[in-house]
Structure 1
Amino acid sequence: MILYTPLAESDIFPTEQKQFDKCKTIMYQGSMLEVEQQDDGSLRILQLLSTDPQDYLNNSLNPGEIISTNLID
C-alpha cells in the first residue's frame, strides 16, 4: 500500500506517545505547521505540513525555528 501524504510515517503509524499537551497544529504565514509550545511562550516548529513545494524553500518554516506567538495568523 502506498500513501501519498505530507505527514510523517510516525504520524500515521505512531510508535510512541507524543506530548500532546505541548504539540499543536497552527496556520502560520499561510502554511500549516506542527509546533511545540516552549516554556517562554514561543513556539518551535516540529514539522511543515504542506503540499506546496515553495513552502519548503522558505527558511523561516524550517523545523527547529522559533516563532513568536504574536505573529500567528
Structure 2
Amino acid sequence: MSKSYVAVTYDVCEHNDLYEDMNEYNLDSSVDMGKQVKRFAEQDIAPLVKVYETASSDIGELTLYKEYKFKEFECDCE
C-alpha cells in the first residue's frame, strides 16, 4: 500500500481562543513537502499546517505525520 499525505491549514489566535481548520490539500509526492506546505501557509495566511499520513485510500484513517509552524503568519493581537 502506498502512503499519501494531506496538509490541513489552521488559523490560530491564542488571545481569542481560536483554533480553526481552514483548508485541506493533497500533497504531491514528487514535489518537496516543505515547499508545498509553505505555499499553502502563504496562500491561507496560516500559522500552523499539519500534515497527515494515510496508508490507504480511506481518508478517514489519518495519522499526524508532521507539524509546520510559521511565525510570520501568527496573529499580532493582544
Q: TM-score, normalised by structure 2?
A: 0.25
Greater fraction strand: 2
Q: TM-score, normalised by structure 1?
A: 0.26
